[in-house]
Amino acid sequence: MNHTRHRATRHAALLALTGLTLLGSAFSQGSTRTPLATQQEDEPTAAAPVRNGRLDLVSHDVGVVINNGFATTTILQTLQNSTDHALEATWAFPLPDEASLSELTLWIDGQPLIGEVVEKAEASRIYQEETKAGESSAKLDQNGFVNYRITLSPVPAHGEARVRVVYYQPLDIDQGVGRYLYPLQNGNTEDPGGGSGMDTAFWSMEREVAGSMTLDVTLKTAFPVDGLHSPSHAAMSFQQEAPDLWTGSWSGQGPVLDRDFVLLYRLSPDVPARIELLTSRYADQGEGTFMAVITPGEDLEEITYGTDWMFVLDISGSMNGEKLRVLSRGASNAIGRLRAEDRFQVILFDDGHRALSRDWLVPGTAEADDVQRQVEGLQSAGGTNIFAALDAAYARLDADRPSAILLVSDGVANAGPHEYRDFIEMARTHDARLFTFVMGNGANTVLLGDLSAMSGGFARTVSVQDEVGAHLMMARDRMSHEAMHGVRFQLEGATVTHPKRLPSLYLGQQLVVFGRYQKSGPSTLTVSARISGEDRHWTVPIDLPAIDESNPELERLYAMAAIQDLERAEWLDGRPESETRRGTIDLALAYSLVTDHTSMVVVKESRKAAYGLGSSNRDRRLREQDAAAVRSTAGNQVQVQTGGQPLAGPLGGQRAAHAPQRSQRRRNGGGGAVGPLEILALLALLLATGWRRSSSDAA
């Protein structure tokens, strides 16, 4: 599987090197054109990169609807061909790692046609045959964890092509703040130091929109929102339409495709800890689907001892430019905000690695300040040998102190060991929490997420539009408070849940679990965890509905979570790749998902029968659209449980509000302890009474 991903990555990078991010191929009527880079040698004219003035992006409209636990993103794009020939367009774009891509619609003869999902090879065959036949067609593929790629033909001479892409993604709220990211800038980066690529993102090549770009956001939440803010698009205006409904809009022209869109929304401080349960079940379905978002109210105690922080920073060639500047600034800020009792080291890596100090540094000392200055002036070069850097970091840790490694990188490992098992084995044999921060979508976030989760840390995808220092400091918050480890989720009546391995939960974090259930009616949800070695259990009543037509999107999100578990089973447990592939294809076809092994293809309705294409995705999408329309006017359908012992109290992230609770908890449990004074007193007693007498008495 991993090999396959790497092959796919390198293939994409090869495409990029030849300047085919946006590929237009001369497409005269009735003739066949070969749009892909691998075929350009046969038809050199097809390889000419398309510049503005030949195939332009006329409009790029993004609609985002955040409805409680998940977001629906709709992208509508119009391409214009200003040449005298029909063109084929191919472009790539990144998506969040947990996104489930559900729709590719191509307007043919003024009619929107929704794509259907088939196996990847079959999709290519259908597309090729359609283009040979001179018919309009489009195809959407996933290129590993790097990006998705749309190919469509033809864009008629002096004409337009219009496509719509829809994807869903689960959202969680961290410390009371929700974050939505629409990636634009950092798509599918490959590390040129590894000898294979450049930024192949469509929007990165084509930063300009000939017409306009719009962003429309709708936020609907069961809980009061304090405010919304876009650090990337500060000019975005927000309105509160209703107590539970916020909207925001932004529009721009020209070079607007070089910035990720980041939206932050903050819930009110008095929002209670809770379990939110979204369900979906239609009358014709044997099983229902649920998504549970759990925000524990358990007050996690502050840990007062210092932590050793190992910053492992990627300075490979692909980090050059804005990413490295943002990394330098963020890491320097993070170092400046360490506590006096903490210590830190910095390791820089590309092909090789080097530490900026011989030993641990205490913040505020002259040597620490010197290293901080070096971090501020980082220079990039070389490939990406993550394994060697992490290995060196683990080797320098002090076993006697709590330690954390902060790995910041933007790419896949392309030098040194880079098999999934190599990394897993390394994480298993060391005792330190690993926090990984991926800049952009170019890295295997599933691998990094698993590595981090295994160590008790977490993985984050960050944008250069984010405040990277703040993300790094979230790791400090994690280390400075107790965590919930060994989390278990049990829903009475659930037949299956994903993910199988639940990560540790930190202060203010949420747990998102997908699953299926059969028996409807009253049920019980139990979450168990270990806090500082103590087992805790929380149980709340839940109602599983027999019919719920409000959230059909959950089915795709559930399927995506199941597919990720399949991949983990292969990587972690050695499950055969063929089983993973088969399982992924089955799930993807059943739920109409674009994956590494399945693609979405659009053909005219009249041509579907020739390829045996049904309309399952179209029907599913219509169902989802109907539900979304109902949701936009109806009240929130999310089932929220806030009562009971486990969910009492405010969000874990509201530490100020928790202070009284902490002092209360000090009386609720603990232990007795003797100290050095008692030991000394006992020694005095022993000397005074004489141990020999006691032994004879015993006899």
Partner 1 sequence: MAPFIQRRGVMFARATETGLWSMRVLAALAAVLLATAASAFPGTLQLERAGLANGEWWRLWTGHLVHGSADHLVYDAGAAALLFVALKCPLASACRLLWMAPAISLALLAALPDLDHYYGLSGLLHGWAVAGTFDLWRSKNGPGAHLAAVFGIGTVLKAAWETWSGAAPFSDGLDMGGPVIHAAHLVGAIVGVAAAVATHRVRFRPAALVHTSTMRALGILVVLTLITLTIGS
Q: Return the residue of 42, 284, 535, 573 that touches partner 1, per CB under 8 A.
A: 535
Does residue 488 belong to the site contacting partner 1 (CB under 8 A)?
A: no
Does residue 305 belong to the site contacting partner 1 (CB under 8 A)?
A: yes
Does residue 667 belong to the site contacting partner 1 (CB under 8 A)?
A: yes
Does residue 481 belong to the site contacting partner 1 (CB under 8 A)?
A: no
Pick between residue 377 and residue 691 the one whose CB is nearest to partner 1. Answer: 691
**Among the candidate windows 150-158, 171-179, 320-328, 678-686, which touches partner 1 by CB under 8 A?**
678-686
Instruction: Identify residue 75 by its one-letter amino acid code.
Output: I
Least distance to partner 1 from the beta carbon of 398, Å?
16
Least distance to partner 1 from the beta carbon of 530, Å?
8
Does residue 547 belong to the site contacting partner 1 (CB under 8 A)?
A: no
Pick between residue 371 and residue 404 the one whose CB is nearest to partner 1. Answer: 404
Least distance to partner 1 from the beta carbon of 526, Å?
14
Per DSSP, the residues of 49-116 read: BP-TTTEEEEEEEEEEEEETTEEEEEEEEEEEE-SSSEEEEEEEE---TT-EEEEEEEEETTEEEE-E
Least distance to partner 1 from the beta carbon of 338, Å?
21
Give the three-class secondary structure for 625.
Answer: helix
Instruction: Identify residue 397 by its one-letter amino acid code.
Output: L
Least distance to partner 1 from the beta carbon of 335, Å?
26
Using CB under 8 A as the binding criterion, the count of chain residues that bind partner 1 stands at 38
Taking alpha carbons only, the member of 42, 35, 82, 75 closest to residue 59 is 75
Angstrom distance (rounded) from CA 674 to CA 296:
34
Pick between residue 590 and residue 682 the one whose CB is nearest to partner 1. Answer: 682
Q: List beta partners, residue 138.
A: 152, 602
Least distance to partner 1 from the beta carbon of 290, Å?
28
Cα 287 to chain center, whole Å?
Answer: 28
Taking alpha carbons only, the member of 208, 212, 184 closest to residue 51 is 208
**Residue listed under structure tokens 């993004």:** 62
**Residue listed under structure tokens 């939960």:** 505
Angstrom distance (rounded) from CA 524 to CA 150:
44
**Among the candidate windows 471-479, 511-519, 563-571, 675-683, which touches partner 1 by CB under 8 A?**
675-683
**Among the candidate windows 108-116, 531-539, 545-553, 588-596, which touches partner 1 by CB under 8 A?**
531-539
Does residue 29 belong to the site contacting partner 1 (CB under 8 A)?
A: no
Consecutive H or E run containing 447: helix 445-455
Least distance to partner 1 from the beta carbon of 493, Å?
24
Does residue 399 belong to the site contacting partner 1 (CB under 8 A)?
A: no
Least distance to partner 1 from the beta carbon of 684, Å?
8
8 Å CB contact between 120 and 8: no
Angstrom distance (rounded) from CA 251 to CA 213:
6
DSSP conformational letter for 382 = S
Per DSSP, the residues of 119-175 read: EHHHHHHHHHHHHHTT--EEEEEEETTTEEEEEEEEE-TT-EEEEEEEEEEE--EET
Angstrom distance (rounded) from CA 33 to CA 28:
8
8 Å CB contact between 380 and 316: yes
Least distance to partner 1 from the beta carbon of 458, Å?
23
Q: Write phi, then psi, for 607 (nearest 5 degrees).
A: -95, -10
Q: Locate 335 and state its tokens.
A: 């170092």
Pick between residue 84 and residue 697 the one whose CB is nearest to partner 1. Answer: 697
Half-sphere exposure of 327 (CA within 13 A, CB side): 31
Pick between residue 547 and residue 686 the one whose CB is nearest to partner 1. Answer: 686
Does residue 634 belong to the site contacting partner 1 (CB under 8 A)?
A: no
Angstrom distance (rounded) from CA 517 to CA 590:
17
**Among the candidate windows 10-18, 515-523, 626-634, 682-690, which touches partner 1 by CB under 8 A?**
682-690
Q: Locate 126 and state its tokens.
A: 């259908």
Angstrom distance (rounded) from CA 228 to CA 66:
12
Does residue 284 belong to the site contacting partner 1 (CB under 8 A)?
A: no
Q: Return the residue of 29, 39, 365, 694 that touches partner 1, per CB under 8 A.
A: 694
Least distance to partner 1 from the beta carbon of 538, Å?
13
**Among the candidate windows 57-65, 104-112, 432-440, 530-538, which touches partner 1 by CB under 8 A?**
530-538
Does residue 671 belong to the site contacting partner 1 (CB under 8 A)?
A: yes
Q: Return the residue of 109, 284, 573, 697 that touches partner 1, per CB under 8 A.
A: 697
Q: Locate 39 and state its tokens.
A: 């075929």
Does residue 688 belong to the site contacting partner 1 (CB under 8 A)?
A: yes
8 Å CB contact between 147 and 594: no
Angstrom distance (rounded) from CA 312 to CA 391:
11
Q: List beta partners, residue 535.
A: 530
DSSP conformational letter for 636 = -
Does residue 283 belong to the site contacting partner 1 (CB under 8 A)?
A: no
Does residue 235 belong to the site contacting partner 1 (CB under 8 A)?
A: no
Pick between residue 633 and residue 663 the one whose CB is nearest to partner 1. Answer: 663
Does residue 673 belong to the site contacting partner 1 (CB under 8 A)?
A: yes
Does residue 644 belong to the site contacting partner 1 (CB under 8 A)?
A: no
Does residue 578 belong to the site contacting partner 1 (CB under 8 A)?
A: no
Instruction: Give the contact letters, 175-214, x = binds to partner 1 (CB under 8 A), - = no.
Output: ----------------------------------------
Q: Return the residue of 530, 575, 604, 607 that touches partner 1, per CB under 8 A.
A: 530
**Among the candidate windows 242-250, 460-468, 519-527, 690-698, which touches partner 1 by CB under 8 A?**
690-698
Does residue 574 belong to the site contacting partner 1 (CB under 8 A)?
A: no
Q: Locate 685 and state its tokens.
A: 């007693």
Least distance to partner 1 from the beta carbon of 342, Å?
17
Binding site for partner 1 (CB under 8 A): 305, 530, 532-535, 664, 666-679, 681-686, 688-691, 693-699
